[in-house]
Amino acid sequence: MGIRPRADEVWRPAFHPSEQARDRAERLLAELPARSATGGPLCVAHVGAGMRAKQWSAEHWRALIGRLVDRLGAQVVLVGSPGDRIIARQIAGRRPRAEVADWTGRLSVAELAAVLQRADLALGADSGPAHLAAAVGTPVVVLFSGTNNPGQWRPAGRQVRVCRHPVDCYPCHRRECPRAEHPCMSGLRPETVAAEVEGLLRQTACR
């Protein structure tokens, strides 16, 4: 189209939630039991993926969230579609911690955007909510499988970090991994993602 951005300019789309969506987000956030007690960051985790090839395991999610709660005093909100409730329950366990709230299936797209806008950080798979987080200006850590090329599909913005585990079958463009061990996602360790989350939170706090 002949558009030439400046060399120092990072373009990103912008999404502005409606006042109604923001009001709903405020009411929900006010109900979080541990938010005022911990004083830590509000982290919104999109635990779904849209396809099995991009899905991180419940065990990895559980380890990551436990680390964020224990080390940072984070309040974590799990979001996703109604179909993501199964993995959300696996992550939260039978006795969920007060610092982990399951909102899967409860938010419209606009309400999700409003919640993301209030968050200190968002994290999740290479899927729509990661792009939505970047579009409302929230720092985001994206868990990339070997399905797609991050250079082509990563959310646009300065405060975006990509986490991926290199594999020899990348990029496969498959909806389901044919390898039993699913190496691109099983090899992406919770401690690696936690380091990216902690580093991005430190960076944004200094601005």
* Nearest Cα to Cα of residue 121 among 145, 139, 143, 103: 139
Q: Are residues 126 and 171 in contact, defined by beta-carbon separation less than 8 angstroms?
A: no
Judged against a pLDDT cut of 60, whether residue 36 lies above it is answered with no
Residue 90 token pair: 């696996």
> Bigger pLDDT: 136 or 53?
136
Judged against a pLDDT cut of 80, whether residue 59 lies above it is answered with yes
> Bigger pLDDT: 117 or 168?
117
Determine the pLDDT at residue 206.
61
For the chain, the first-to-last Cα distance in angstroms comes to 34
- pLDDT tens-digit readout, 183-207: 898 999 999 999 999 999 998 876 5
Could you tell me where the DSSP H helices lie in the chain?
Answer: 19-30, 35-38, 58-72, 85-92, 109-118, 128-135, 150-153, 183-186, 190-205
- The fold of 21-27+38-205 is Rossmann fold (3.40.50)
Q: Are residues 156 and 12 in contact, defined by beta-carbon separation less than 8 angstroms?
A: yes
- Report residue 99: phi and psi, to 5°: -80, -5
- pLDDT tens-digit readout, 78-112: 999 999 999 999 999 877 788 999 999 999 999 99
Q: What proportion of the chain, given as a percentage, has pLDDT over 70?
A: 93
Amino acid, single-letter form, for residue 122: A
